[in-house]
């Protein structure tokens, strides 16, 4: 009896862990079915749209103006583009749902990371092959430290300091 | 990239704040600036009466002399960022610790609110969130995104505006240089109308704070405790405040 109970609870816990993980790594539903894959295949660089990444903390979401700069002409028969255009005509911003995020007590700078030669893919996964954008990893503190602790010894002191990332 | 091999990240730093008491007029502009920069809540008159104010800087007032020749002297007291901080060893969860830059850090999401650190602090500059912070509209629009809005039940205190230090360092680093002396300014230093506050690196012997710290007027608060504070006060001349 005890053994069966134990088995039952282990399966329950395992299922809960798997469900949570699947939820964390699921792609959130977006107001516009934006496809990173198509854009990457068309040769659009990450930094063309997320242009603040090199010089600011946040990478930034492109403005509607940037979207419409191309999409007044390109792929106007696409359903997603038509949804985009309808937002543009109504003069409403698109309420994008954040995919990768940090809790509010965490300080993160894209600028500082790109300067050290990191690629977008290191943290965000192969977004260029994601029709629907989803988080590639669970961005928790252990995952940050996995990389920070592997840096040269003289930098680890600083990179493992709580105040470097906590605010 | 290789350019950061010899830059600021590896140079030694000991951040200090110099407070010139001969210049302080007790105007409390630093307190206001601190509230705005660091999302410090206001608890109201009643709670302040219980000693639950949240100011990270407290302007202490002293009367000097006998009537009718009385003078008011002011002393801004903020976290002294002690080298041997009494608050650090008492924290059961290591929410407060000492970092390489000589800063006494408080990691908010780790704090469980035992308030041991507040009891151990001889300067009484740590404040506790007795209630969830309230920022009436439209004040929520001016909250600093670089600083956590602390929740109920945790300790907080002056950080020397770590978010500003970090910002300047990252920007300077990107430009391939080290931050110049005086470039990093905490909100209080930037605001002080009588230029009575100075911030800089004590490990750099040529910095303005090092020169002021070597001066005859410099002293530290409660030096007999051996806490070796990172806030250096200057007092010497007469003032007519």
- pLDDT, one tens digit per residue, over B131-141 is 999 899 899 99
Which residue blocks in chain B are alpha helix, DSSP H?
29-37, 45-49, 87-90, 116-120, 162-174, 187-191, 208-214
Q: Which distant-in-sequence residues (6+ apart) come within 8 Å of B36 by Cβ?
A: B142, B144, B187
Dist CA B196 CA B218 (whole Å)? 13
Residues in A closer than 8 angstroms to B148, CB to CB, are: 104-105, 167
Backbone torsions φ then ψ of B234, nearest 5 degrees: -120, 125
Kindly tell me if the per-residue pLDDT of A13 is higher than 90. no
Residues in A closer than 8 angstroms to B107, CB to CB, are: 162-163, 166
B100:A117 CB<8 A: no
B97:A162 CB<8 A: yes
A115:B174 CB<8 A: yes
Q: Is A145 helix (H, G, I), strand (E, B) or coil?
A: helix
CATH architecture entry for B2-234: 2-Layer Sandwich (3.30)
B108:A117 CB<8 A: no
Residues in A closer than 8 angstroms to B146, CB to CB, are: 107, 167
Of B100, B109, B147, the CB nearest to A158: B100
Write the ipTM: 0.80
Across A14-23, A75-84, B11-20, B90-99, least confident range: A14-23
Vertex B162: Cα angle to B233 and B136 (nearest 5): 100
Residue B33's nearest CA partner among B230, B196, B190, B232 is: B190
Kindly list the domain boundaries of chain B, sorted by start residue.
2-234
A111:B170 CB<8 A: yes
Provide the shortest C-alpha distance from residue B69 to chain A (in Å). 47
Contact (CB, 8 A) for B14 and B26: no
Q: Which distant-in-sequence residues (6+ apart) come within 8 Å of A144 by Cβ?
A: A165
Which residue blocks in B71-227 are alpha helix, DSSP H?
87-90, 116-120, 162-174, 187-191, 208-214
Give, to the nearest 10 degrees, the angle between helix A79-89 and helix A64-71: 130
- pLDDT, one tens digit per residue, over A99-136 is 998 998 999 999 999 988 889 999 999 999 988 888 88
How many A/B residue pairs have CB atoms within 8 Å? 51
Of B10, B103, B166, the CB nearest to A107: B166
CB atoms near residue B226 (< 10 Å): 10
């Amino acid at each position: 009896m005890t053994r069966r109970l134990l088995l039952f609870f282990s399966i329950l816990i395992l299922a809960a862990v798997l469900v949570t993980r699947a939820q964390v790594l699921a792609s959130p539903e977006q107001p516009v079915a934006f496809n990173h894959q198509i854009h990457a295949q068309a040769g659009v660089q990450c930094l063309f749209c997320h242009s603040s990444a090199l010089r600011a903390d946040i990478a930034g979401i492109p403005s509607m103006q940037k979207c419409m700069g191309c999409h007044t002409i390109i792929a106007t028969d696409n359903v997603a583009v038509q949804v985009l255009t309808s937002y543009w005509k109504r003069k409403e911003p698109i309420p994008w749902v954040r995919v990768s995020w940090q809790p509010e007590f965490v300080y993160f700078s894209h600028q500082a990371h790109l300067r050290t030669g990191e690629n977008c893919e290191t943290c965000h996964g192969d977004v260029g092959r994601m029709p629907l954008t989803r988080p590639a990893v669970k961005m928790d503190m252990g995952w940050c430290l996995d990389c920070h602790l592997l840096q040269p010894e003289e930098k680890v002191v600083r990179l493992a300091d709580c105040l470097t990332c906590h605010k | 990239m290789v350019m950061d091999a010899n830059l600021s990240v590896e140079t030694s730093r000991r951040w200090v704040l110099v407070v010139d008491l001969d210049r302080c007029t007790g105007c409390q502009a630093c307190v206001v600036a601190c509230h705005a920069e660091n999302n410090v809540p206001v608890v109201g008159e009643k709670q302040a009466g219980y000693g639950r104010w949240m100011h990270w800087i407290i302007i202490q007032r002293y009367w000097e002399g006998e009537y009718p020749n009385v003078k008011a002297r002011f002393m801004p007291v903020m976290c002294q960022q002690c080298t041997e901080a009494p608050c650090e060893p008492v924290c059961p969860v290591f929410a407060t610790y000492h970092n390489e830059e000589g800063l006494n850090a408080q990691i908010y999401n780790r704090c469980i609110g035992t308030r041991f650190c507040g009891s151990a602090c001889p300067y009484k500059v740590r404040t506790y969130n007795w209630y969830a912070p309230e920022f009436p509209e439209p004040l929520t629009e001016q909250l600093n995104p670089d600083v956590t809005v602390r929740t109920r039940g945790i300790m907080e205190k002056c950080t020397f505006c770590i978010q500003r230090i970090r910002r300047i360092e990252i920007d300077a680093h990107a430009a391939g240089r080290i931050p110049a002396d005086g470039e990093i300014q905490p909100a209080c230093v930037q605001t002080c109308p009588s230029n009575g506050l100075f911030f800089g690196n004590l490990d750099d012997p040529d910095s303005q704070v090092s020169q002021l710290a070597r001066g005859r007027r410099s002293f530290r608060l409660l030096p007999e405790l051996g806490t070796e504070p990172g806030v250096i006060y200057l007092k010497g001349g007469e003032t007519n405040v």
